[in-house]
Structures are given as C-alpha cells and as structure tokens.
C-alpha cells in the first residue's frame, strides 16, 4: 500500500546576517542552511494495517505525511502510495486518500457541516447512493446528525474533528492519514474517535497511519508503531516487541506487615518508600522476581506484593531521550 | 459546472449568516445610485450635449455600473495570502482540484450568488426608482451578458495574478489598494472612457481594465453597435487568453515553490 525508500526532505532556510548592512546583503546574496526534516527513512505499510506514527515535536512526522499526501516534494528517495507517486500525481492521489489534520479543518468555516459534505460530494464526484450510505454510517458512528446543521465555526473541537473525519472518509478512500486527530479533545470524545478509527479499519479495511502524542491512543488502537526522531525512524515494530526490547525494568511493590527500615535488596534498587510499602526496581534479565521475593520474604513478613510492567509512555520517553548517534547503530 | 453551483450554494449558506452585511451592501448601492444620478443631472443641466450621449443613457450607465459593481472584486488575493500565511494552503492542495480551477469555482460561485442576491434586486430598484432603461433590443441584452461574463473572467484573472504575486511578496494590502484604484479608474466604473482626454484615453484603450465595466455598459446603453461590439468582445477575449496563460504559468511556479519548501 505504501512503500517508502530512502526518503529525505531538507528545508532551505535563509541565513540572516546581523545588523542593517547584513540584511541588505542578504537581499542580494542570500546564504542558505539546509535543515534535514526527514533523513533517509524507509518503511512499508501493507493494506489494512493500522500504524501509529510517533515522535517528539519537530521529529519529521508531519513532513513525512505531507510527502505521502503529495503536497510536499521529497529532496530524494522514493515514495509510492498504492502505485502512485504522490507529488507527481497529486490530484489522482488525492482521490484515493483521506486526511485529517487536527490543527486545520478542511471544512468551510461559515456553512453548516452538511453543506460542506455536499461540496465534498461534488468535488470528489461521490455517487448519490454511496453518499447516502456513508452519511448513514456517520450518523450511526459519529452522531453526525446532532450537529450537521451547525456552521463549523460554532462546533466544539470534538464535533469539528468528527465532522472532519466524515469529510475525509466520504469518498471511501483506501488510505487514511490522521495527523494528531485528537489533539485537545476531552476523554469521552477521544474514546469515541478511537472506537471509530478501529471500526473503519476493521470493517472497511481502510489502511490508517495515525500520528499522536498520546500513548493511550497507541495502546488502544494501533497494532504497530513507528517511532521517528531527528528525522530517522528509530523503531518499527509491534507493541509487544517494544515492551520486550526496551522494557527491561520491572518494579516490585511490597507491602510489609509492619514498618521496616529502608534496606537494599541484591540486584534491586529501592525507588520509593511509603510507610509499610516499598518499591524496588530491577532488571528482569539479570534478576528473576522469584529470587528477589524469596530474599525479601526471608527477612521480613510480607502482606502483599505485585510486579509492575513499565508504561509504554515510559519506554518511549527513554527512546526519545537517547542521543541521536545511538540510533544509527540500533535502528534496523 | 456542478462544482460552480456547489460553491455558489456555499455562499448562500454563508451569507444568510451575515444579514447585516447584505443590508449594508444593498443600501450603500442605493445611496450611490441616487448620488451619481443626481450628479449627472446637474452636469447635464450645466453643459448639455458635452458628454456624447443622452442624459438618459448616461444615467443608465451610471446606475447599472453601481448595480453590477459587486459582481467583481470577489477577492482571491486575500484568500490566497491568508491560506499561505496560515498554512491552510495544504488543505486546499489536499483536494483533488486544480488550484486555479478551485479559485475560479469559488469566485464564480460567489459571483452567481451576488447576481441573484445583490445585482438583480439592485437593478430592479434602479428600474423602479431611478429611471434605469431596458436595453433597446433583446440582442443588445444578450451581448451585454456575454460582455459582462468576459469582463468578469478578465477581472478574476487579474485578481488571481495579484494573489499569486502576493504569495511571493507576502504583502497584500498596499498592492491590492493600488490595483483596485487603477482598475476602478481605467475600467470606466465611474466615468465612460470616451470622456478621458488624450493620453489617458489611449492608455485606457489598451489596458485590460476596460473589459470590466466599460465594454458591457456601453453595449447596454447602445453607445457601441455593430462591428464596434465585435471588436470590443474580441479585445476582451484576447486579454482573457493572455491573462489565462500568464496565470497558469506563474501559479505553476509558485505552487512548485510552496510544495518544495513547505509553504
């Protein structure tokens, strides 16, 4: 469905010289610096996949999505979206994809939602039967009828995103790009959008690429994640895999029968202490939880205990915070 | 054509929201009609026969000019500048529409809307209140509509070019102001071009602006006839083709710049 090879995008920025004379000189002979936004990335997304695309701000997520949409020309490398080269066949590509940019709406500001959808129907030449069918579906899944006669500028953010989602899917695209589609939305609306995304992926086999900063989105929706940082893909794989590969730390939470002094257990580090409760962190490849528990229980009577896995957010934070040089060797 | 109507429909919806804007426009047109009619009557009493046509023709020219002024100036420059500045141009390019065609559909939709909501009511008011004459024959009326349409297309392309230039210079207000001042003057919106002296007259005759108000209006009042009409229409058509070619070429370059530098 999507095939990306050695894709690179560099932006040119004019280097400003200091002072008045400097800015005059810039007018005549500008010097440029090139900023790599996307740096030699390759990946492949098959039909029906639902991929989470994450990375810190400025990592290159939006730049790569814009290139996939054909509204940005790559500096080098190849892109193929369902057999088309997006920036060479922008309009043809536009008919087979749908996109929602959380920060920008595609709808017309002053007119009711339903009017915007009618205009989309005319622009994309959607047959009447398909239009009606999709509208019914949006009513069922997104409760579109609740606000279809409201002008877009009066919608709440959650409603606007639902309307945008409907607009992006009206022409039955095979592929959907969602660039931070849930930014700033409340918990209930978020849950609803997540369910909707999962349903259209499952029932209509729409291939979806989703960028987000919320790891809960990833955990609840995606089967595969790609992490991009400093323009490079630093991780590409399933959620379980990332847990296995990076989630080496486990936390043992022990509640003792009576208050005990702080102590250190072998191969484990005391992280937190709260009355009778203590948190020990250990590396699960070096220490097995059973040895650790046996050791502690031989010394003090234990009331309750639990082993906690790290949150995916924690793992991702660790990945973001590593130095870029490390990625070159570890990324596959 | 369906796309044009679709955009026109949008404007019906958008403008029902701004009732105030509508009444403001219509009433200001009526005031202008009253004012210009009074001005020409005074001028004709002072110097009858100095203006080349009868008072009735001149009043018709002036009133009709006020009634149709809202068909032009549909404003792609502001839209384009705003889209580029806010980055929303991405969303426009995401649609399976050629951008130039998209702008044309948008403007024409708005124009169709203004014909129905503003120009026709204003013409009716002009007919009943201010002695707006009907065209002499139905052929004249038809040629007037053709010339009006060509004039609209010339105006649209001038504005589209202006918008394209505004994207490059990132400055719109002063350019737009200068453009509209020039355009209003040389288009014959206020004064028929045959009243322009010497050099100014020659200049007005070669610039594209006369396609916009002067050609349709002078056809309507019968100041042009026979081969003069054919010539005027040909002039409009030639300018339209020239502007169309420049617009496509320049926009092509600007779009390439937008999509290679990320807006």
Distance from CA of A89 to the nearest CA of B (A): 10
Q: What is the DSSP string of B63-105?
A: HHHHHHGGGS---HHHHHHHHHHHTTHHHHHHSSS-HHHHHHH
pLDDT at A332: 35
**What average pLDDT does chain B have?**
87
Q: Report CA-CA distances (Å) from A282 to A262, A267, A306, B93, B98.
A: 16, 7, 13, 52, 60
CB-closest option in B13, B98, B259 to A72: B259
Determine the length of chain B.
263
Helix (H, G, I), strand (E, B) or coil at B62: helix
Q: How far is B148 from chain A (nearest CA, A)?
A: 27
Pairing of strands A175-179, A97-101: parallel
The per-residue pLDDT for range A96-131, each reduced to its tens digit, is 999 999 888 889 888 889 989 999 998 899 999 999
Amino acid B231: pLDDT: 93
Is the CB of residue B91 less than 8 Å away from at least one CB of chain A?
A: yes
In the block, tokens 């029968």 appear at: A257
pLDDT in tens, B228-263: 999 999 999 999 999 999 999 999 998 888 887 764
Q: Do the Cβ atoms of A122 and B2 come within 8 Å?
A: yes
User: What is the phi/psi pair of residue B203, to 5°?
Assistant: -60, -45
Task: Compute the nearest-CA separation of B2 from chain A (Å).
Answer: 7
pLDDT tens, residue order, chain A (332 aa)? 899 999 999 888 777 777 777 767 766 777 778 888 899 999 999 999 999 998 888 888 889 999 999 999 999 999 999 999 998 999 999 999 999 998 888 898 888 899 899 999 988 999 999 999 999 999 988 899 999 899 888 999 889 999 999 999 999 999 999 998 888 888 888 888 999 999 999 999 999 999 988 888 888 889 899 999 888 998 898 888 887 777 777 888 888 888 877 777 777 888 888 888 888 888 877 888 888 888 888 888 888 888 887 777 777 777 777 755 444 444 33
Q: Which residue has the higher pLDDT, B66 or B86?
A: B66
For B30: left if phi > 0, alpha if psi spans -120 to 50, otherwise beta; the answer is: alpha
Catalogue all structural domains in chain A, each as residue range(s) with its CATH number: 47-243 (3.40.50.300), 248-308 (3.30.70)
Q: Model pTM?
A: 0.82
Predicted local confidence at residue A26, as pLDDT: 67
State pLDDT tens for residues B196-232: 888 999 999 899 999 999 999 999 999 988 899 999 9
Q: Which helix (H) or strand (E) holds B235?
A: helix B227-261
Instruction: Count how many pairs of residues, chain A against chain B, have C-beta atoms within 8 Å.
Output: 69
Contacts of A70 in chain B (CB under 8 A): 93
Between chains, do A71 and B260 touch, taking CB under 8 Å as contact?
A: no
Half-sphere exposure for A42 (CA within 13 Å, toward CB):
6
- pLDDT tens digits, A146-190: 998 998 889 998 899 999 999 999 999 999 999 988 888 888 888
């Amino acid at each position: 469905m999507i095939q990306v090879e050695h894709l690179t995008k560099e932006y040119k920025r004019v280097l400003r010289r200091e002072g008045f004379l400097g800015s005059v000189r810039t007018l005549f002979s500008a010097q440029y610096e090139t900023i790599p936004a996307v740096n030699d990335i390759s990946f492949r997304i098959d039909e029906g996949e639902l991929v989470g695309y994450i990375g810190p701000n400025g990592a290159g997520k939006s730049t790569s999505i814009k290139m996939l949409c054909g509204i940005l020309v790559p500096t080098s490398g190849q892109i193929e979206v369902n057999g088309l080269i997006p920036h060479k066949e922008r309009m043809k590509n536009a008919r087979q994809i749908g996109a929602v940019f959380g920060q920008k709406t595609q709808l017309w500001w002053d007119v009711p939602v339903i009017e915007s959808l009618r205009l989309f129907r005319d622009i994309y030449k959607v047959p009447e039967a398909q239009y009606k069918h999709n509208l019914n579906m949006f009513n069922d899944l997104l409760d579109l009828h609740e606000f279809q006669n409201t002008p877009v500028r009066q919608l709440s953010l959650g409603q606007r995103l639902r309307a945008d989602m409907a607009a992006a899917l009206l022409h039955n695209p095979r592929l959907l790009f969602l660039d931070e589609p849930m930014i700033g939305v409340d918990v209930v609306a978020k849950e609803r959008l997540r369910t909707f995304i999962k349903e259209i992926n499952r029932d209509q086999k729409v291939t979806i690429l989703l960028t987000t900063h919320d790891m809960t989105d990833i955990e609840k929706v995606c089967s595969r994640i790609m992490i991009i940082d400093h323009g490079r893909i630093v991780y590409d794989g399933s959620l379980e895999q990332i847990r296995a590969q990076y989630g080496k730390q486990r936390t043992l939470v022990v509640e003792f029968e009576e208050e005990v002094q702080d102590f250190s257990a072998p191969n484990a580090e005391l992280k937190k202490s709260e009355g009778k409760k203590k948190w020990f962190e250990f590396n699960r490849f070096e220490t097995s939880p059973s040895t650790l528990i046996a050791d502690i229980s031989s010394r003090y009577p234990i009331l309750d205990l639990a082993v906690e896995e790290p949150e995916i957010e924690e793992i991702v934070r660790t990945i973001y915070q590593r130095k870029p040089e490390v990625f070159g060797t570890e990324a596959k | 054509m369906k796309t044009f109507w679709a955009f026109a429909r949008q404007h019906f919806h958008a403008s029902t929201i701004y009732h105030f804007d509508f009444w403001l426009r219509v009433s200001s047109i009526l005031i202008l009609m009253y004012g210009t009619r009074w001005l020409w009557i005074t001028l004709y009493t002072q110097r009858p026969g100095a203006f080349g046509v009868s008072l009735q023709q001149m009043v018709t020219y002036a009133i009709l000019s006020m009634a149709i002024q809202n068909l032009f100036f549909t404003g792609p420059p502001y839209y384009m500048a705003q889209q580029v500045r806010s980055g929303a141009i991405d969303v426009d390019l995401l649609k399976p529409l050629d951008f130039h065609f998209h702008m044309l559909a948008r403007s024409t939709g708005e124009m169709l809307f203004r014909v129905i909501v503003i120009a026709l009511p204003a013409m009716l008011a002009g007919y009943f209140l201010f002695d707006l004459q009907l065209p002499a024959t139905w052929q004249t009326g038809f040629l007037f509509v053709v010339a009006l349409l060509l004039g609209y297309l010339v105006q649209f392309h001038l504005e589209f070019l202006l918008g394209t230039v505004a994207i490059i210079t990132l400055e719109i207000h002063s350019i737009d102001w200068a453009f509209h001042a020039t355009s209003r003057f040389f288009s014959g919106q206020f004064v028929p071009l045959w009243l322009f002296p010497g050099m100014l007259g020659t200049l007005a005759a070669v610039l594209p602006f006369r396609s916009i108000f002067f050609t349709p209006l002078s056809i309507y009042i019968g100041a042009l006839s026979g081969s003069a009409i054919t010539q005027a229409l040909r002039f409009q058509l030639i300018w339209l083709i020239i502007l169309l070619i420049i617009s496509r070429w320049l926009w092509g370059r600007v779009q390439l710049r937008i999509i290679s530098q990320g807006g």
